[in-house]
Amino acid sequence: MDWPLALGLMLGSLFFFMAIGMPVVFAFLAVNLIGAWVFLGGEMGLGQWVRNTNSSLISFSLTPIPLFVLMGEVLFHTGLAFRAIDAIEKAISRVPGKLSIVSILGGTTFATLSGSSIANTAMMGGMMMPEMMRRGYHPTMSMGPIMAVGGIAMLIPPSALAVMMGSLAGISIERLLIGGILPGILMAVGFLGYVVIRSIMRPQDAPVSEQDDSGLSGWQKWGPFCKNVLPLLAIFVAVVGSMLIGWASPTESAAIGVLASVIATFAYRVFSLQALWKSLIETAKVSVVILFILAASTTFAQLLSFSGASTGFLNLIRGLDLSPAMLIICMLLVLLIMGMVLDQISMMMITLPFFMPLALAANIDTVWLGVMMLIALEIGLLTPPFGLLLIVMQSVVPPAIRLPQIYRAAVPFITIELAVLVAVFFIPVIAVGLPNLIK
C-alpha cells in the first residue's frame, strides 16, 4: 500500500472514531487493531500488537506518572492545598484585584504540588468564583486568572503530561521537567502584571472592599503563610532540587515528593486512612487511563512507521527544505490550530511520531522544542471552542454565565501565553538554561 493511502487509512479511521464520540484511548486502540491486521499480517499482526503493547508499558521511565499524581492527590484530599490558599489570601493586604492575585498565586502554588491542570482549575474555581462574583468582579478578572493558572500545572513539575511527552518523544524527562519551570514562572508573572495593571486602570472590574484588608498584621498576617505555604513549597524544592543537583532521577524525585507529602500530612495532623485510600483510588484511575493512552500511542507510532506512512510524509517535508526555525514555527502552528478542536493527549499522540524525527534530522534541541510544545498544548487548554479548561470552568460557574463569556475571559491570558511562547522561541535559554545546570 502506498504511503498516502496508509496515512489516510490510519488518520481517517482515527478522526472517524473520534467524530462519532468514541473516547480517545479507545479510538486509538481501534485504529491500532485495524492497522495491525492490515499492515502486520492478520492474526500474526494482532499477536505482534499484543507484544508491542506489553513492551510499551514496562519502561521504568513511566514510574513518575503515578507517583506525581499521588503526590497531588494526597495534598488535595487531606485539605493541605486549601490551607495554603487561605494563608496566601491572609498574607495579601488591600491591593488592586486582590482575589484575582490570590487565584494566580494560589493556583501556581497548587500547580507545583499537583501537576493536574483540571484539578487546579476545578479547585480554584470552586473556592474563588463564588466570592469573586459576590464582590462584583468582572468575568475576565474572575474566570480568566483561574483558567489561565490551571494550565501552568502542565509546565511546572510535577507534570504528568511532561513525563508522558518525554516518554513518547524520547526526550530526557528530567531535563523537560526542569525546563518548564522558568516559562511557567514567567507566565504567572505576566498574569499578575495584567491583573494589577487592569485593576488600576479599570477599578470597577475588581472592586476593592473592606474584606480585602484582613486587618491582620505581623505574625497574624504572615504566620499562616509560613506555617501552611512554605513547608509545602519545600516539597517542590526537594523534588526539583534533587533532580537539578543530580542526586535523584525523575522516578526517585517523584518518590521523594510522595514521601514528603505523606510526612506533611502527619506533621499537620490531617492524615487519615480514608483520605489516603481516596488518594490511591484516584491515582489508580488517572494512571490507568494514562498508561492505556501510552500503550495505544506507542503502537500507533510503530504502525505508522511500519506502513511507510511516517517515512513518506517525512520525506515530503524534508523535500520542502525548510530551515529549523521555519520547521519549528510550522510545528507550533499545527499544535495551536489542533488545540481548538482536540485534547492535549490526542495532539501529542498524533503529532509526535512526525515531529520528533523531523526535529532530530534538523538538529533541533529536543528539550527546547519539548518546552515550546508544552506551552502550545497549554494554550490549547484555553482555546475556543473546545479548550478543556473552558469546559471545566463552565461546570463550576452559575448557569447564568454563558460559554461565550468564558471565551472572552480567556482571551487576554491566551495573549500572554502566546507572548511567553514567542519569548522562549527567540530566547531558548529560558527553556534550556536550568536543564543545562543539571550535574
Three-state SS string over the chain comes to CCHHHHHHHHHHHHHHHHHCCCCHHHHHHHHHHHHHHHHCCHHHHHHHHHHHHHHHHCCHHHCHHHHHHHHHHHHHHCCHHHHHHHHHHHHCCCCCCHHHHHHHHHHHHHHHHHCCHHHHHHHHHHHHHHHHHHCCCCHHHHHHHHHHHHHHHHCCCCCHHHHHHHHHHCCCHHHHHHHCHHHHHHHHHHHHHHHHHHHHHCHHHCCCCHHHCCCCCCHHHHHHHHHHCHHHHHHHHHHHHHHHCCCCCHHHHHHHHHHHHHHHHHHCCCCCHHHHHHHHHHHHHHHHHHHHHHHHHHHHHHHHHHHCHHHHHHHHHHCCCCCHHHHHHHHHHHHHHHCCCCCHHHHHHHHHHHHHHHHHHCCCCHHHHHHHHHHHHHHHHHCCCCCHHHHHHHHHCCCCCCHHHHHHHHHHHHHHHHHHHHHHHHCCHHHHCCHHHCC
pLDDT of residue 373: 94
Residue appearing with cell numbers 502486520: 40
In angstroms, the Cα distances linking 279 to 67, 266, 270, 318, 332 are 11, 15, 14, 47, 35
pLDDT of residue 115: 66
User: Taken in order 31, 341, 132, 213, is the CA torsion positive or negative?
Assistant: positive
Take residue 425 and report the three cell numbers written for it: 522561541
Q: Residue 88, class by beta-carbon neighbours within 10 Å (0-12 exposed, 13-18 middle, 19+ buried)?
A: buried
Q: Give CA–CA dist 109/272, Å, rounded.
A: 23
The CB density around residue 317, as the number of other CB atoms within 10 Å, is 16
pLDDT of residue 216: 61
pLDDT of residue 56: 63
User: Could you tell me the mean pLDDT of each successive run of 10 residues in the chain, 439 residues long?
Assistant: 78 80 76 80 71 67 78 83 78 78 84 72 77 81 87 82 84 90 93 91 79 62 82 83 81 87 90 90 80 72 74 77 90 86 76 88 93 92 80 76 86 94 96 85
Q: Give CA–CA dist 389/87, Å, rounded.
A: 25
Q: What's the whole-model pTM score?
A: 0.81
pLDDT of residue 314: 74
User: Taken in order 424, 104, 197, 405, is the CA torsion positive or negative?
Assistant: positive
| Length of the chain as a residue count | 439
